């Protein structure tokens, strides 16, 4: 499948570039290509006309692409750049929330509400750890945290693949927040951020495509 091959190739090149020369031309160019490759994969694995679920997932991928791209037009490391990234990804999370909302009755929010507690605990811990360094961005960070945790809870209503993808996506954003606001940085931090970013969204897209095809067959 050309779309899958393209996604794997771009991802591998990007991860190697992140490890060898983070912030270099190859890393920058391939990062901008990741979400279009994933959107191409979603388009080639779902039938036409596109369902509401697929359209909203494509919107989320497009907004994620803006989050990867727009900060490059701001000064490196500036609050404007980070704000652009945060704003675009917040909108992306809201698009995922809208896409997954019809599955809420099958999610742990309705079926096993006690399992929501770890998600809320993670949100509280992350906001608490990053509060000191977030400064005026703290309200935006908290709102974003609520959005991504909501997305992750709703993803449990889709299937296990979506659940894992959403959790991995949360890990990616948590790594970004820890580096930006708490000066916590792992070895090859950028590689881990981008690996979990692509894997998380990739699993979400795979689950959404599967759910869309299954709904078409039932209909």
- Measured between alpha carbons, how far is 148 from 201 in angstroms, rounded to an integer? 12
Residue 35, Cβ neighbours under 10 Å: how many? 25
Taking only the tens place, the pLDDT of each residue in 183-201 is 899 999 999 999 999 999 9
Q: pLDDT at position 5, please?
A: 96
Q: Above 80 in pLDDT, residue 219?
A: no
Torsion of CA 168, 173, 175, 178, to 10 degrees: -150
Q: Where are the domains of the chain?
A: 2-218
Q: How large is the average pLDDT for residues 103-110?
A: 96
Q: pLDDT at position 215, please?
A: 87
Q: Considering only CA atoms, give the Rg of the chain.
A: 17
Question: Do 202 and 38 contact (CB within 8 A), yes or no?
Answer: yes
Task: Judge if pTM exceeds 0.85.
Answer: yes
Taking only the tens place, the pLDDT of each residue in 59-104 is 999 999 999 999 988 887 778 888 899 999 999 999 999 999 999 9
Going by pLDDT thresholds of 50, 70 and 90, the confidence category of residue 6 is: very high
- Measured between alpha carbons, how far is 87 from 63 in angstroms, rounded to an integer? 9
- Measured between alpha carbons, how far is 61 from 3 in angstroms, rounded to an integer? 15
Q: pLDDT at position 172, please?
A: 97
Question: Do 83 and 137 contact (CB within 8 A), yes or no?
Answer: yes
- Measured between alpha carbons, how far is 46 from 207 in angstroms, rounded to an integer? 11
In this structure, what token pair is assigned to residue 187?
């070895």
């Amino acid at each position: 499948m050309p779309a899958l091959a393209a996604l794997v190739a771009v991802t591998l090149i990007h991860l190697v570039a992140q490890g060898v020369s983070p912030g270099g031309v190859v890393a920058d160019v391939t990062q901008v290509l990741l979400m279009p490759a994933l959107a191409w994969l979603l388009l080639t694995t779902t039938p036409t006309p596109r369902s509401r679920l697929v359209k909203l997932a494509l919107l989320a991928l497009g907004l994620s692409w803006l989050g990867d791209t727009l900060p490059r037009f701001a000064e490196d490391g500036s609050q404007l750049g980070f704000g652009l990234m945060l704003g675009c990804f917040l909108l992306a999370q809201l698009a995922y929330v809208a896409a997954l909302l019809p599955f809420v009755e099958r999610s742990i929010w309705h079926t096993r509400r006690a399992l929501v507690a770890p998600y809320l605990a993670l949100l509280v811990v992350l906001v608490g750890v990053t509060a000191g360094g977030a400064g005026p961005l703290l309200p935006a960070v908290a709102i974003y945290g609520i959005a991504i945790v909501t997305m992750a809870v709703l993803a449990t209503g889709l299937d296990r693949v979506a659940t894992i993808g959403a959790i991995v996506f949360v890990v990616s954003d948590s790594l970004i927040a820890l580096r930006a606001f708490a000066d916590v940085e792992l070895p090859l931090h950028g590689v881990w951020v981008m690996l979990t970013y692509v894997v998380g969204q990739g699993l979400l897209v795979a689950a959404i495509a599967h759910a869309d095809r299954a709904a078409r067959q039932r209909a």
